[in-house]
Amino acid sequence: MHTLEERPTLRGIARACGVSAKTVSLVLNRKPGVSAETRSRVLKLVRESGYHPRNGNLAPLGIAVRSVGVTLPAPLETVPLSQGFFLWLYEELYRVFGSRGYYVTFDINPYAASLNGDYARGLWDQMFRACILAGPLSERDTTAARIHKAGVPYLAMGRLDSLPELSFSTVDYEEGAYLCARFLIDRGHKRIGMLQAFSGYTPGVERTRGYRRAIEEAGLPYNNTLARSVDFRARNIANMVHRILDNDEVTALIDCSSTEDAQALREGARRAGRVPGKDFEVVAWTYVNDAAVLSEACAHLWLPVREAAADGMEQLAAWIEGEREGPIQVLYSPTLYTTAAKGEIPKPRRLFETSD
């Protein structure tokens, strides 16, 4: 078995596996005529090398393709983006790109069709002139670096520690978590819990980093059991609130679960025998300016996610048309406020949605 070259190609895969290029092609196209052992060996190398057909063979940027691709770097099963989010995204794509005469192509489930889970397959297959990565990036993401290296205009709705030069448009989640923790510390709290979304993804890493920085700056001991990772189900939110508040020393909670679910927060507190606004304080995160997620909250943090994304898409359009160079780096700051409009906004169907 030969060594695979640095940039994987179909012929390179074939040489490394000791088979013909036709055999590799049969495997990649899910055709019969290949033994199970050979098929398994080829697929293993394809996954490990990150190979995708046409990888590194993008057409020149001057080609006549006028399609902006939208792809999901996180599976919908992991990050359940709501119908409301897609409707908002569609409206923005229409406003920014449709008005300029571009086609818009959605690759909603690239994982099902790609052998190695490559969410950028639309670029490698020359379907897109530019690409939008709509969703959070995994800590272990390597595809974004390949997109960046390819030199095509693109926009990620999130950052990556491993690729600071990434083209992105997002909000500063680290600053948001830091602001919330500092606010509660200044109010005299020494044990602060946190509901953290996006475990394994960069928005979750940033949340933890900001929270921990504020705790340690104040000279308080950092306790990772007080920062609980949650998914987007109401049952899971309630269970984690219960676990955090079972510790009587916890007198404050940061809800950065992204669910904006007041009912689940109250249910978890009830199970722990606690009452929000009375024996513990809450800072709730919201994606709507001057809105109340939880009426008992002592403060809310607004994260202008959609505003940042809209700004980034405008700049991506300018990049595509040669009016500016890339990469794009848009980072909006969150805003913490202690007063909000009367009443609570209903449990949203805007960003994340589950059947629970």
Query: What average pLDDT does the segment 4-24 reach?
Result: 79
How far apart (Å, rounded) are the C-alpha atoms in residues 158 and 207? Answer: 13
Cα–Cα distances in Å, from 205 out to 15, 28, 306?
A: 40, 35, 20
Nearest CA-CA partner of 132 in 123, 142, 141: 123
Read off the pTM.
0.82
What pLDDT, in 10s, does the model give residues 150-187? Answer: 889 999 999 999 999 999 999 999 999 999 999 999 99
Phi, psi for residue 244 in degrees, rounded to 5: -65, -45
Give pLDDT, residue 52.
Answer: 63
Query: What average pLDDT does the segment 55-80 reach?
Result: 70
Please report which confidence band the pLDDT of residue 76 belongs to, taking 50, 70 and 90 as the band edges.
Answer: confident
Query: What average pLDDT does the segment 262-281 reach?
Result: 96
How far apart (Å, rounded) are the C-alpha atoms in residues 159 and 177? Answer: 16
How far apart (Å, rounded) are the C-alpha atoms in residues 98 and 254? Answer: 39
| Residue 272 C-alpha from the chain's centroid | 31
Is the model's pLDDT at 353 over the cut of 80? no
Query: What average pLDDT does the segment 337-341 reach?
Result: 85
What share of the chain in percent tops pLDDT 70?
Answer: 89
Give pLDDT, residue 268.
Answer: 97
Characterise 322 by phi-psi region: left (phi > 0), alpha (psi -120 to 50), beta (else).
left
Is the model's pLDDT at 1 over the cut of 50? no
Count, in order, helices (H) and strands (E) of the chain: 12, 12
Give pLDDT, residue 63.
Answer: 41
Longest dimension (CA), the chain: 71
For residue 276, count other CB atoms closer than 10 A to its CB: 24
Least confident of 7-11, 110-114, 137-141: 110-114
Least confident of 55-69, 119-133, 146-160: 55-69
Least confident of 26-35, 48-57, 207-216, 316-325: 48-57
Residue in this structure with the two tokens 């950065």, named with its chain if needed: 256
Give pLDDT, residue 47.
Answer: 73
Domains for the chain: give ranges and CATH numbers.
10-49 (no CATH), 67-171+307-333 (3.40.50.2300), 173-304 (3.40.50.2300)
Give pLDDT, residue 2.
Answer: 46
Please report which confidence band the pLDDT of residue 64 belongs to, taking 50, 70 and 90 as the band edges.
Answer: very low
What pLDDT, in 10s, does the model give residues 167-177? Answer: 999 999 999 99
Give pLDDT, residue 59.
Answer: 44
Give pLDDT, residue 60.
Answer: 43
Is the model's pLDDT at 56 over the cut of 50? no
Task: Give the type of residue at 12.
Answer: G
Is the model's pLDDT at 317 over the cut of 80? yes
DSSP code for 254: E
How far apart (Å, rounded) are the C-alpha atoms in residues 339 and 292? Answer: 8
Please report which confidence band the pLDDT of residue 277 belongs to, taking 50, 70 and 90 as the band edges.
Answer: very high
Give pLDDT, residue 79.
Answer: 85
How far apart (Å, rounded) are the C-alpha atoms in residues 154 and 170? Answer: 14
State both tokens at 21.
Answer: 């290029």
Task: Give the type of residue at 40.
Answer: S
Query: What average pLDDT does the segment 274-301 reach?
Result: 94
State both tokens at 226.
Answer: 């007080």
Question: DSSP assignment of 74-92, as one string?
Answer: S-TTTS-B-HHHHHHHHHH
Please report which confidence band the pLDDT of residue 204 belongs to, taking 50, 70 and 90 as the band edges.
Answer: very high
Is the model's pLDDT at 58 over the cut of 50? no
In the chain the first and final C-alpha atoms are separated, in Å, by 50
Query: What average pLDDT does the segment 85-96 reach?
Result: 93
